Chains A and B, each alone.
Chain A
Amino acid sequence: MSSSDLTSERDLVPQATPKGDLAPERDGPRDTGLDDATLHRWLERTWRTKPGIIGALSSVDHKVVARRYLVTAFVFLCLGGLNAVAMRIQLSGPQRGLIGPDLYNQLFTMHGVTMMFLFAVPIVQATGIYLVPLMVGTRNIAFPRLNAFSYWIYVSGGIFAWASFALSMAPDVGWFAYVPLSGPEFGPGKRADVWAQMITYTEVSSLAVAVATIVTVFKQRAPGMSLDKIPLYVWAMLVTSFVVVFAMPAVMITSTFLILDRLVGTHIFNPAEGGDALLFQHLFWFFGHPEVYIIFLPATGMVSSIISAFARRPVFGHLGLVLSLIAVGFLSFGLWVHHMFATGLPKLGASFFTASSMLIAIPNGLQIFCWLATLSDGRPVIRTPLLFVFGFVFTFVIGGLTGVMVASVPLDLQVHDTYFVVAHFHYVLIGGSVFPLLGAAYFWLPKLTGRMMSERLGRWHFWMAFIGFNAAFFPMHLVGLWGMPRRVYTYPAELGWGNINLFITAGAAVFFLSFVLFTFNMLHGALRGAPAGNNPWDAGTLEWATTSPPPSYNFARIPVVTHAEPLWAEREALPVATGLRVDARELVISTVAEARPDIREKSATPSIWPLFAAIAVGATFLYSIFTPWAVVWGALPIAITLIGWFWPKGDPEDEE
C-alpha cells in the first residue's frame, strides 16, 4: 500500500435522499461546534451502561459484552487446562491408577469441548467484538442486543456443560462424538445429549456474533474506510465470520440429528434401517475443518497488527494477505474428508482431498512469507507481543508442515488418531492461535485496562510458555509414531512409552505454570501497571486514536479515514466527521464498498430482554434433552421475550 491513495474528502459529502410522506423528523442537539467537555457529557449520558445490577445485565456496549466474554473464556481456558493436567498426571507413567476410564473419558471430552467451543471460538470472537467496532471507527457493534444475547447463551451453555461434569454426567464420547458410540444404543444416559445441546448453545451464540460482525464491517465503517483501507485484523474477522455462518449450521444439524436419533428414535445414523454412521462424520467435519480456520484466521489478523506495529511499517503485501484470507476461507470447506482417510473411502476420492488439503498450504504459506518480508527491513522493536509472534511462527510452521504430512492419504493411515495427530493439532491450535492470542493480550490489554503489563514478567511468561509447550507437545509426534493411539487412559509398560510420557507431563506442567504467571501479570498490570496512554505502541489503526480504556461512545467524533494506517498518515490532526446527534445513540451507516456515509442510524438502547430471551432459549435447550415437547412449550416464553426485545419503547432510538 502506498500513501498516495488518500481519499479526497470531497467524495465524502453525503447525498441527501428524498423521503416519503412521514411525520417531520424529530431532531435533537448535534455535535457540530460543541466543545470537547460538553460533547463528552452528552455522549457519556447517551451511551453509558446504567449503574446497578439491572443496568449491568442490560448493557449492550460491545466493550462490556466483550470483556465478559474474554473473562468467561479465560475461566474456561483454565478449566480446560486443569482437565489436561489431570490427564497428563494419569499418563505420566504406565498403568497408573489415578483416574479410571470413566472419568478419563469425560476429562478428555470436556477438555476438547471446553477448548474448542467454550474457549477458542468465543475468545477469538470476543476479541473481535471488542476490537472490530473500534478499528472500523464506529460507536457500537451492529445489533448490540443480539450481541448481548449471544453472551448470555454462551455462558449458560458453558455452565450447563460444566454442571453436568460436576454431576458425573459429562459427555464421554470425545469432542467429535462419533456415532454409534454417542448414539442411542451405546451412549446411555444423558451424557451424549449434553454434548449435543451444549453445541447448540455455543453455536447459536457464535452465529449471532458472526452476523453482527459481518454487518459491522460491511455497514458501519468510518467514512472513507473503503475496502482497501480495512485493517487486516478486521478482514480476518470478516472472513472468519463468513466461515462461521457457513460452517456452524453443519454441526447444529449434526447434533440435532443425533438428539433426534436418541430421543425420538429416528434412524438417521442407524445402518439397519437405512441410515449411515459415516454421514455423521461427513456432517461433523464439514463443520470441523473450517472450525480450525475459525480459530486460526483471527490469529493471523492479530499477528499482522502486532508485526506492523513493531516492524514500524505497514505489513508487506496487504492485498496478498487479504486474498489469502479469503482463499483460506473458501478452501477450508473443501478438505473435511482428510479427517476420514481411515474410514475406507474410495482411494481416488481420498486422493482428491489430499490435493485440496495441500492446496490450502499455498495461501497459508503466502501469509508467512509476507510477514517474514515485513520483518526483514531491519531489527524490529522486540517487545513481548512480538516475542509471541516469533513463537507463533516457530510452532505454527511445524504444525503446518505436519499438516501437510497428515494430508497425505497413505501417511495419514499411520498417524491418524495417534499422538502424532494430537501433537499436530496442538501445534496448529496453540501455536497458531493461542500464541498470537497471548501476544494480542500483551498488545491490546493496555487498551482495555488503560495500563501496561510488565515487560519483564512478559518475557518470563513467553519463555516458560514456549519451552513448556514444545517440551510437552514435540515428543508426542514421536510417541504417536511409536504406536500410541490417542484417547487411551493407560498403556502397558512393555511398550516403552513411560519415560517420554513422563517428560511430556513435565513439559505440560511448565506450560500450565506459564499461565499462572500470565494471570498474575494480567491482574498486576490491570491494577498497578504504568498508564498506557492512547497509543502505547505508536501503532497505526483507529483503536489507538481513542483513550485507553475507550469511553462508552468509543470516539467523541467519528474519524474520517484517509489511509489504511490512519494514525500514521494523519499525525498532526485526525480528520473527523460532525453532524451526529448527541442525545440519541446515533452512528454512521456507510456504503459497503467505498464506505461513503449514507445514513445516521440509531443503535439499540440497553435492554434486559436479551437476558430474558437467553434464559428462555437456554431453558428450552436444557429441557429438550429430556423431551421433544420442550420445543413446543419453550416456544411461548421465547416468543414473549423476543416481543419484549423488539417492541419499541418510545426512546428516540426507536422512533426514527
Chain B
Amino acid sequence: MKQRPAADLSALPTYGIGPRSPTWWGTLGFMALEGTGFALAAGAYLYLALSWPQWPLGAPRPNHWPGTIVTLLLIVSLVPNHMLNRYAEQCAIMPVRIGLVVMSLLGIAPLVVRWFEFPALNIYWDTNAYGSMLWVLLGLHTTHLITDVGDTIVLTVLMFTRHGNSGRRFGDVGDNVFYWDFVVASWIPIYLLIYWTPRLG
C-alpha cells in the first residue's frame, strides 16, 4: 500500500510522567485489580458478619494499638512521599535519592509494627471464621506492603547507580509514589474493618 507522510513526530519527547506514561496506566490497572481483591475480601468479611447475629462469635476484641500505630506511620509517610513526587517531576536526582531512602525506611517501619499486629488480633486463624477473616485481611495487606517496600528498596538502589539519572527512572519514581498512596489508602478501610467493626456490636 502506498504511503504519504502526514505527520512528523521527531520533536516528541521520549518520556512522560504521570498519566502521560503507559506505566502509570499499568500501575492504575494493577491497583484496580488489587483493589477489587481487597473489596471482595472485605465484602466476604461483611457477608459473614451480617449472616451471624452473634458476630464476632464470642472472640475477644483485638488490641487496636499496633494497628493504629501502623495507620499513623502510613499517614505520616504520605508527606515525604509527595515531596518525593515533586522532586521526581523536577528530575532532581539528589533529593530523589534522599527521598527514596526516607521512603524505604518509612516502609520498613510499619512492617516492623505489623509483626506485632498479628498477635494483637487476640485470635488465631483457625479458631473460627472471624479469626480466619482477620488473618486473611491483614495477611493480604501485609503481602501488599512487603511487595511495595521491596519495590521501593530496589528502586532506591537503582537510583544510586549510573542508570538512575534518566527520565524514565524519574517516571518510575513517580509511579512508585502513586502506588504507595494506594497502599496507604487501601489500609484505611481494612484498619476500620479489623479493629473498629467488632467494637460496634
Contacts and interface: CB of A to CB of B under 8 A. Distances in A.
A–B contact with Cβ pairs below 8 Å: the answer is yes
Interface of A: 9, 12-14, 16-17, 19-23, 25, 30, 32, 142-143, 146, 207, 210-212, 214-215, 218-220, 223, 245-246, 248-250, 252-253, 257, 260-261, 264-268, 270, 273-276, 279, 282-283, 286, 534-535, 545, 556-558, 560, 567, 572-580, 586, 588-589, 591-592, 597-602, 635, 639, 643, 646-648, 650, 654-656
B55 A656 contact: no
Contacts of B122: none
Nearest to A556: B3
A270 B131 CA distance: 12
B163 A30 contact: no
Given A267-B128, A267-B132, A21 B37 contact: no
A20 B173 CA distance: 15
B190 to A, nearest CB: 14
7 contacts: A16-B12, A20-B90, A249-B33, A267-B132, A598-B16, A600-B13, A643-B154
Given A220-B22, A245-B29, A647-B158, A279 B48 contact: yes
Interface in B2-22: 2-16, 19-22
A282 to B, nearest CB: 7
Given A19-B91, A223-B9, 10 more contacts: A214-B25, A264-B125, A266-B129, A274-B55, A588-B12, A598-B16, A599-B12, A601-B21, A643-B154, A655-B168
A14 B12 contact: yes
B68 interface: no
A279 B3 contact: no
Given A249-B37, A274-B130, A283-B40, A598 B20 contact: yes
B36 A265 contact: no
Contacts of A648: 158, 163
A267 B167 contact: no
A524 to B, nearest CB: 28
A9 B6 contact: yes
Given A575-B6, A576-B5, A654-B168, A16 B32 contact: no
Given A267-B128, A545-B1, A215 B29 contact: yes
Contact of A12 (B6, B20, B165, B168): B6
Contacts of A276: 47-48, 51, 129
B22 A601 contact: yes
A576 B129 contact: no
B108 interface: no
Contacts of B5: 32, 557, 575-578
B70 interface: no
B44 A211 contact: no
B6 A214 contact: no
B63 interface: no
Nearest to A25: B14
A416 B40 CA distance: 26
A266 B48 contact: no
B30 interface: yes
A23 B169 CA distance: 13
A215 B22 contact: yes
A595 B163 CA distance: 31
Given A267-B129, A276-B48, A560-B6, A22 B25 contact: no
B119 interface: no
B3 A574 contact: yes
Interface of B: 1-16, 19-22, 25-26, 29-30, 32-34, 36-37, 40-41, 44, 47-48, 51-52, 55, 57, 89-92, 125-133, 135-136, 146, 150, 154, 158, 163, 165-168, 170
B40 A573 contact: no
Contacts of B163: 648, 650, 654-655
Contact of B128 (A207, A273, A588): A273
Closest 3 CB pairs of A and B: A579-B10, A20-B91, A575-B6
B15 A656 contact: yes
B22 A560 contact: no
A572 B2 contact: yes
A257 B125 CA distance: 12
Given A19-B13, A253-B44, A268 B132 contact: yes
Among B13, B32, B130, B165, find the residue whose CB has the most chain A CB atoms closer than 10 A.
B13
A533 to B, nearest CB: 11
Contact of B57 (A246, A274, A597): A274
A266 B132 contact: yes
A330 to B, nearest CB: 14
A283 B129 CA distance: 16
A250 B15 contact: no
The CB with the most chain A CB atoms within 10 A, among B14, B26, B127, is that of B14
A230 B133 CA distance: 44
Contacts of B136: 257, 260, 266, 268
Contact of A578 (B10, B132, B170): B10
B165 to A, nearest CB: 7
Contacts of A210: 29
B2 A574 contact: yes
A656 B11 contact: no
Contact of B7 (A13, A25, A142): A13
A591 to B, nearest CB: 8
Contacts of B127: 267, 273
A579 B132 contact: no
A76 to B, nearest CB: 24
Given A283-B40, A589-B22, A597 B9 contact: yes
B4 A576 contact: yes
B8 A275 contact: no
B89 to A, nearest CB: 8
Nearest to B56: A274
A573 B10 contact: no
A275 B47 CA distance: 10
A382 B105 CA distance: 67
Given A245-B29, A598-B20, A601-B15, A573 B3 contact: yes
Most chain A beta carbons < 10 A, residue from B3, B9, B41, B48: B9
A275 B129 contact: yes
Contact of A656 (B7, B48, B90, B168): B168
